[in-house]
Structure 1
Amino acid sequence: MVSNDSDGPRPVIGLPTYAERAVFGAWDTRCAILHHSYVDMVARAGGIPVLLPPTGVARPELVARLDGLVLTGGADIDPARYGGPAVPHGYTRADRDESEFELFRLARAARLPVLAVCRGLQLVNVALGGTLVGHLPDVVGHEGHSGGPGSFTPVAVTTAAGSRVAAVAGAKVTAHCHHHQAIDRLAPGLTATAHAADGTIEAVETTSGPFLIGVQWHPEADSADDRLMRAVVTAAARREERAA
């Protein structure tokens, strides 16, 4: 049985990483890396973080060893996947797309609880048949969601009454945002359950099936609030209890 109790077994939570060049110590080399704030968030919430490099790891035998999945932030989704035009802003990573679309498919088939963060939310929407806004400032007329280089912007978000994200995070959220894309056409099977004042969709969830919440903001950036991650850990525990 999976538990977030410090004395019991803890759920194993998968975290997809970037394959990027990094400099550390005497080394300047290609690495599998991820912001440590994701690792810290999972650990604080009672899970065991496991880093997943984007190189052929999206297989059923891997997913069978996971209790939950956080689809992490990062590069833009290749617009060819949703029939969008090339975007002159941002960047894409084909290796992450190839790995993580399959990882999400397998996780859903295995009924793993999923928290999708920023790029992760966008991936979920595209994987289920939705589309994206290529460059959000062109639509809303400002860069209030974008943040500066290496920083987040606080954005006031209102959640939908009765939604799962409202039950977890509350009616109002001060979201930590760093994104220049967003959901355009919402995928079938998803419900938009939080919005910014300019109408940007800031959270989605499913009305049926296994636990799935996607947020356009970065919960890992707020070390004082782990409620979304704790919800994933709790869902993982309940899933294992039903399977026992």
Structure 2
Amino acid sequence: MLQLAVVEVTDARPHAPEYDAYTRGMTRRTVADAAILGWDARLLTAERLGTDGLLDATESADAIVIMGGEDIAPEFYGGQSGYEGEGHHYRTADAAELALVRRAALRATPVLGICRGHQVINVAFGGTLVQHMEETGHRLTDLPVEYTLVEHPVSLERSSTLALRLGEHVTVQSGHHQVIDRPGPGLRAVGWSHDGHIEAVEHDILPITGVQWHPEAPMAPVDQLERLLDGLEREALRQLAA
């Protein structure tokens, strides 16, 4: 049985209980769906474990999923504090997840990043972020958290692995105010939203993929998460056979 590490930012948000419950619900769905598909799926909390603890806990992982959550602290990608929409940061989790992606790159461990996880991948490779988008169409504000996600189309590059798994045109659920600005070295943009923002990246040679949207959201297409997890399994088996 392949071991999947599902990494969340934190397991305690006393300042935002509704957001915490909604976010952790999607994380629990990811773990549960992975288990149904045959993974030995383990949920790990980056803020609680820290860098050394997270690296130790994922030492034998065959693949990794980095989940969504809060903005990465701007000092990790050369940004400035005080930007519009800036919220609570979990710097211990940021450092731990960035270290995890960098070790995965050295070992060719398959990684899937979702929303924040997609941005973590980019920052780990030296990329930058747009700190706040003025455009609408990627999330709803001033509504209960369960209504913040927006449905919109994404176009995937025909030759990309994601297009082979999901098709060239997909409908997604997203809820974010930051996006990738400059992809890090080795990463290439393979997916774009209706307004031209980067929605997906793949590494040129490593089994590392990021999607800005939420395939694990309650209203996401029913098989979207399953197809992405199936892709991770194929990559993990390929690495074991190498």
TM-score by length of 1: 0.83
Alignment match, 2:34: 42
For this pair of structures, how many residues does the alignment match? 217
Alignment match, 2:5: 14
Answer whether contact 2:131 2:179 (CA < 8 A) is retained.
Answer: yes
Alignment match, 2:60: 65
1:213 corresponds, among 209, 216, 221, to 209
Deviation at 1:39, TM superposition (A): 1.1
Alignment match, 2:139: 146
Deviation at 1:42, TM superposition (A): 1.7
Deviation at 1:19, TM superposition (A): 3.4
Larger-gyration structure (1/2):
1
Question: Given residue 69 of structure 1, which amino acid in structure 2 is its aligned partner?
Answer: I
Matched, 1:74 2:69: yes
Question: Given residue 222 of structure 2, which amino acid in structure 1 is its aligned partner?
Answer: A
Alignment match, 2:193: 196
Matched, 1:84 2:79: yes
Answer whether contact 1:63 1:110 (CA < 8 A) is retained.
Answer: no
Summarize the Cα distance change of 1:223–1:170 in structure 2 as closer, same or farther, 3 Å threshold.
closer
Output the CA distance in 2 between the equivalents of 1:229 and 1:186: 23
Question: Given residue 67 of structure 2, which amino acid in structure 1 is its aligned partner?
Answer: T
Deviation at 1:186, TM superposition (A): 1.7
Sequence identity, in percent?
A: 35
Question: Given residue 16 of structure 1, which amino acid in structure 2 is its aligned partner?
Answer: V
SS in 2 for 1:19: coil
Output the CA distance in 2 between the equivalents of 1:160 and 1:126: 22
Answer whether contact 1:155 1:174 (CA < 8 A) is retained.
Answer: yes
Mark the runs of 5 or more structure 1 residues left unpaired by the alignment. Answer: 1-9, 23-32
Greater mean deviation of Cα atoms: 108-117 or 86-95: 86-95
Deviation at 1:170, TM superposition (A): 0.5
Output the CA distance in 2 between the equivalents of 1:178 and 1:77: 15
Greater mean deviation of Cα atoms: 73-82 or 216-225: 216-225
Question: Given residue 123 of structure 2, which amino acid in structure 1 is its aligned partner?
Answer: V
TM-score by length of 2: 0.84
Deviation at 1:21, TM superposition (A): 4.3
Where is the helix percentage greater, Structure 1 or Structure 2?
A: 2
Question: Given residue 12 of structure 2, which amino acid in structure 1 is its aligned partner?
Answer: E
**Alpha-carbon RMSD:** 1.7
Where is the strand percentage greater, Structure 1 or Structure 2?
A: 1
Alignment match, 1:167: 164
Alignment match, 1:233: 233
